[in-house]
Amino acid sequence: MQPLTTYELVVNFVILIMMPVIIWANLRQSGRAAPFNDYLWAEHPNFMRMSLLIIGLLVVFSAVTLLGHFGVLSGGIVEIANIVIGIPFLVLSVIEIVLAVRWHSSSGAIARRGRAKFKHLGRRPRPSLSSCFLARKFSPKMARLAGRVISMRWLMRVSPAAILLLAFSGVAAARDYYGAIAYSKTTRSVGYVYDMDTQDEAESAALIACSDLADDCEPINWFRNACGALAVSSEGAWGTSWGEDEGTAEKKALDGCGQYAKDCQIVRWVCTTH
C-alpha cells in the first residue's frame, strides 16, 4: 500500500478520534431526558441507530487505512477490507435515506392534521420542542424566533440530501486510482498505465504495454492517486519514483538515477486522475 498524504493522514486521524466520541455521546445520552436527543431516540430510534452504524463504519475504514499506511496490514488486505466496509456502508446509507423520507412524510402528515384540528377549534398549535426548551433556558421572545427557524420539518427536508451526499462522498473517498510503469533495461522501452482499479491491474497492464516493444520488460513502479516518473541516463542507469504531483515524482526519479549517473533525464511521467 502506498503511503498516505499528509492531508489523508489528518482526515483519517480526525475521523478515528472524533467519531467514536460522537458515538459515545449519543449512546450515553440516549437514555437521559435531553430535550433534543431524547426526542430523536424515543421517536426515531432506527434512524439514530443507522446513523451510528454509518459513523462506526467510517471509523473502521479509517482504522484499516491507517494500519495499512503504517505497514501493519498489507495492501491486498486493505483493498479487501475497503470492499467489505463499503458495501454495508452503501446499504445502510440507502436505508437511512428511506427512513428519513418516511420520517419527513409522517411528520408532515401529522403536522397538517394538527394545524387543521387547531384551526377548527380556534386554538393555537402547541409550541415546538425547540421552542419549549429555549423558553425555559432563555426567553419567550427567543423561543418564538427559534421555533420558526429550528423546525423538525426543515431538518427532515435537508437530512435525505445530507445523507445521500455523505454516502457518495464515502464512495468517492474509497475510490482509488492506480498507475504503473514497466521498463526494459536492454531496449529501454517503457510501458505505462493510469486510472486502473487495483495495483495488480496497473502493473499487468503496464507490463503488457511494454511487452509489445520488448521481451524483458518488468514493472518497476506503481502509485495510487499520485504521479510516477522514470529517469534514464545515456549509460543505462535509471531511477523511478512517485510523488503527489508531477514535479515531485520527477525530482525523486532524477535523484534516484543521479546516484549512478550524471546525465539522467526524465523519459516518462504519468499521473492518475487524483
What local confidence, expressed as pLDDT, does residue 147 receive?
Answer: 47
What local confidence, expressed as pLDDT, does residue 27 receive?
Answer: 76
Task: Report d(CA 224, CA 144) in Å as an integer.
Answer: 53
The helix (run of H) or strand (run of E) holding residue 24 is helix 6-29
Cα 108 from chain centroid? 33
Phi, psi torsion values for 219, nearest 5 degrees: -65, 130
273: helix, coil or strand?
Answer: coil
Task: Say what the pTM is.
Answer: 0.47
What local confidence, expressed as pLDDT, does residue 52 receive?
Answer: 85
* 253 and 232 Cβ atoms separated by less than 8 Å: no
What local confidence, expressed as pLDDT, does residue 253 receive?
Answer: 95
DSSP state of 118: H
Cα 227 from chain centroid? 21
The helix (run of H) or strand (run of E) holding residue 182 is strand 178-183
Name the stretches of the chain with pLDDT < 50: 35, 110, 117-118, 120-121, 125-138, 141-161, 163-164, 167-168, 170-172
Long-range contacts of 71-76 (CB under 8 A, 24+ apart): 73/1, 74/1, 75/1, 75/2, 75/199
Buried b (16+ CB within 10 A) or exposed e, 213-241: ebeebebbbbbbbbbbbbbbbeeebbbbb
Bridge partners (DSSP) listed for residue 39: none
What local confidence, expressed as pLDDT, does residue 95 receive?
Answer: 84
Bridge partners (DSSP) listed for residue 243: 227
Geometric angle at alpha carbon 168, from 72 and 201, rounded to 5°: 50
What local confidence, expressed as pLDDT, does residue 113 receive?
Answer: 52
Name residue, grid cell 526524465. 266
